[in-house]
């Protein structure tokens, strides 16, 4: 997942009549659900918005390795350790496909990395929360990956071919992640009183941050209308959030856990759950860099980048030497 508050042009979408011929032809392809491919003409705003969205998504996968990676050395059994490593590895792989998808729009992976480290490019707010207990690994798989799937399933239909295809592949792996997270929660909830309390505590801490993953309420977003017209954001934040709540509350019930929202109740008329207000102030603070782990996450990525400079340089230097020797021999 994990693009939130992606800025688009900031203007209302144009009507077909207002568009220049190139743009009109482009919009008609989008409207007809024909995928846009890298070498085709596209409006500059479409290209820029997609770069922001895909790179934010890629950065989220990369930074997302950190909170879960935090428990690799402490996973409680050999199987849990292997599953967790495989999952964190998948996230690195997702980051790789997504950087490649963004590169088709004319930006390099190094440029995107520099934007992340300089604080110019965002990643999902959710990864700025700490993983304090083993139950957090279960809660992340269940809730965070659950929210991610909700968002990514619709993005499989996105108008941009490379992004849409990356989503198809990623969705398959994410559903495995969600199942493993829920499986951790089931084991904890069927375990000792201490384990069950650990599970409840994790749900209490991750519930609201998970709901915030979908971004601010629709009324607050000036950029959604254009992104929806371009079909790079097929569903609105509030629609996705509602779908997530409706899917997840029965899963919490099955576990015997209580969703930390006193206003949560089933609305028979709407066939959906009503839920209490979300603290958007917290969300904006986290995006500004004031979440519990923003500093640590970026520092970890900066350290990996800086400490790895000699390694990347060494490999490049060897490749140049090898080429030179080959040329000399020919």
Task: Provide the minimum distance between the beta carbon of 214 and other proteins in the complex, in angstroms, as a whole number.
Answer: 25
54 vs 245 by CB, closer to other proteins? 54
Q: Which of 106, 314, 323, 324 is close enough to bind other proteins by CB under 8 A? A: 314
| Using rule CB under 8 A, residue 130 touches other proteins | no
Q: Which of 7, 23, 48, 85 is close enough to bind other proteins by CB under 8 A? A: 85
| Using rule CB under 8 A, residue 315 touches other proteins | yes
| Using rule CB under 8 A, residue 311 touches other proteins | yes
| 3-class SS letters over the chain | CCCCCCCCCCCCCCCHHHCCHHHHHHHHHHHCCCCECCCCCCCHHHHHHHHHHHHHHHHHHHHCHHHHHCCHHHCCCHHHHHHHHHHHHHHHHHHHHHHHHHHCCCCCHHHHHHHHHCCCCCCCHHHHCCCCCHHHHHHHHHHHHHHHHHHHHHHCCCCEHHHHHHHHHHHHHHHHHHHHHHHHHHHHHCCCHHHHHHHHHHHHHHHHHHHHCCCCCHHHCCCHHHHHHCCCCCCCHHHHHHHHHHHHHHHHHHHCCCCCCCCCEEECCCCEEECCCCCHHHHHHHHHHHCCCHHHHHHHHHHHHHHCHHHHHHHHHHHHHHHHHHHHHC
- Subset of 151-180 contacting other proteins (CB under 8 A): none
Q: Which of 132, 280, 308, 323 is close enough to bind other proteins by CB under 8 A? A: 308
Q: Which of 54, 55, 60, 95 is close enough to bind other proteins by CB under 8 A? A: 95
Q: Which residues pair with 265 in a beta bridge?
A: 274
Task: Provide the minimum distance between the beta carbon of 123 and other proteins in the complex, in angstroms, as a whole number.
Answer: 13
183 vs 218 by CB, closer to other proteins? 183
Q: Which of 225, 264, 278, 304 is close enough to bind other proteins by CB under 8 A? A: 304
| Using rule CB under 8 A, residue 96 touches other proteins | yes
Task: Provide the minimum distance between the beta carbon of 76 and other proteins in the complex, in angstroms, as a whole number.
Answer: 4
Q: Which of 76, 119, 250, 292 is close enough to bind other proteins by CB under 8 A? A: 76
Task: Provide the minimum distance between the beta carbon of 187 and other proteins in the complex, in angstroms, as a whole number.
Answer: 6
| Using rule CB under 8 A, residue 318 touches other proteins | yes
Site string for other proteins, 56-75 (x = CB under 8 A): ------x--xx--x--xxxx
Task: Provide the minimum distance between the beta carbon of 167 and other proteins in the complex, in angstroms, as a whole number.
Answer: 19
User: Which residues here bind other proteins, judged by CB under 8 A?
Assistant: 62, 65-66, 69, 72-82, 85-86, 88-89, 92-93, 95-96, 99, 109, 134, 184, 187-188, 191-192, 194-195, 300, 303-305, 307-319, 321
């Amino acid at each position: 997942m994990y693009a939130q508050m992606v800025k688009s042009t900031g203007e209302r979408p144009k009507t077909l009549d207002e568009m220049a011929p190139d743009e009109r032809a482009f919009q008609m392809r989008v409207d007809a659900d024909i995928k846009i491919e890298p070498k085709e003409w596209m409006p500059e705003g479409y290209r820029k918005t997609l770069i922001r969205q895909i790179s934010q998504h890629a950065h989220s996968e990369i930074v997302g390795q950190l909170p879960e990676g935090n428990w690799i050395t402490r996973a409680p059994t050999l199987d849990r350790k292997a599953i967790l490593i495989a999952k964190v590895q998948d996230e690195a792989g997702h980051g790789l496909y997504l950087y490649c998808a963004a590169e088709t729009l004319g930006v390099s992976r190094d440029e995107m990395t520099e934007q992340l480290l300089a604080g110019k490019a965002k990643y999902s707010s959710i990864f700025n929360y700490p993983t304090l207990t083993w139950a957090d690994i279960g809660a992340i798989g269940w809730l965070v990956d659950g929210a991610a799937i909700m968002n990514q399933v619709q993005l499989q239909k996105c108008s941009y071919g490379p992004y849409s295809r990356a989503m198809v592949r990623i969705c398959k792996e994410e559903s495995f992640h969600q199942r493993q997270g829920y499986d951790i929660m089931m084991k904890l909830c069927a375990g000792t009183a201490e384990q069950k309390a650990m599970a409840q505590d994790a749900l209490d801490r991750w519930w609201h941050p998970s709901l915030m993953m979908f971004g601010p309420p629709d009324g607050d977003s000036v950029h959604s209308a254009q992104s929806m017209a371009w079909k790079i954001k097929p569903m609105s934040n509030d629609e996705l959030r509602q779908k997530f709540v409706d899917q997840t509350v029965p899963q919490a019930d099955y576990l015997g856990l209580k969703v930390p929202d006193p206003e949560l109740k089933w609305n028979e008329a709407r066939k959906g759950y009503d839920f209490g207000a979300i603290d958007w102030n917290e969300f904006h603070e986290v995006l500004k860099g004031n979440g519990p782990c923003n500093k640590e996450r970026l520092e970890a990525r900066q350290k990996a980048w800086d400490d790895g400079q000699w390694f990347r340089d060494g490999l490049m230097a060897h490749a140049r030497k090898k080429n030179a020797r080959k040329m000399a021999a020919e």
